[in-house]
Amino acid sequence: MTPIEILHQDDAFIAVNKPAGLPVHRSAMVNDAEQYLVDVLREQVGGNVYLAHRLDRATSGVLLVARSSEIAAALGEQFMGRDVRKQYLVVVRGWPEPAEDVIDYPLPGSRETGLRREARTRYRQLAAVEVPIALGRYPQQRYALLLAEPESGRFRQIRKHLAHIHHPVIGDCQHGRGDHNRLYKQHFACHRMLLHAWRLDFRHPASGAAMTLQAPLDREYAGLLERFDWVDALP
């Protein structure tokens, strides 16, 4: 496998640009993959690594991995305490109205029948496009590029919240629209979910210094932004 892109590395932690489609670790929900990020990274950097947080298998972007269990716990406290600012780039079906809002809708955990807890996601539309491709009863299709900031950390929060307001993430097989997912595969050669952990703002777990890390988009996602003339809209 191609080495995982490292965004930052020191004695305390490593920040990587997680590829879409690569599960972070083996779990009860994901145990059929050929490779897992923690195993690949352990071999790549030499030595043990400890997850500080998670990203969905289909999501790409900034992921923090500690070099010790103590540092993992310190980073985990920042995430649990909502002291980390998380920004995601996401392509959705339709044009949300209003173009900037907060989705405040309680969500369950990994089990849909579980207890629902408060969950808030802030979003802002960065760009929009209308493509002349017929689908269903519409001769043209509308899509938008959003900057999404989850204020809580529920399971698949951004995906569920955007589906809740009827603007699902393109490429989301669980909560999205299969017809639009197929359109992106057939017309745009896009075979991934268009959700990317773009930027993290947090404190260094050892020094306490303020840090901002940003993950570049992969070729498939970046090519789509170029096709839609959305590159200049990136924050």
> Residue 66: helix, strand or coil by DSSP?
strand
φ, ψ of residue 26 in degrees (nearest 5): -70, 140
pLDDT at 28: 52
Which residue, among 50, 55, 66, has the nearest Cα to 12 in the 3D structure? 66
The structure tokens listed for 117 are 């807890």
Virtual torsion, Cα 65, 68, 73, 79, nearest 10 deg = -20
pLDDT at 76: 93
pLDDT at 33: 58
Nearest-angstrom CA–CA distance, 10 and 170: 35
> Residue 134: helix, strand or coil by DSSP?
coil
Residues of the chain with pLDDT under 50: none
pLDDT at 30: 52
Q: Within 13 Å of residue 43, how many CA atoms lie on the same side as its CB?
A: 9
Nearest-angstrom CA–CA distance, 230 and 223: 10
What's the pTM value of the predicted model, to 2 decimals? 0.94
What's the topology of domain 5-230? Answer: Pseudouridine synthase (3.30.2350)
pLDDT at 27: 59
Q: Catalytic residues, which ones?
A: 56
Peptide bond just before 98 cis, omega within 30 deg: yes
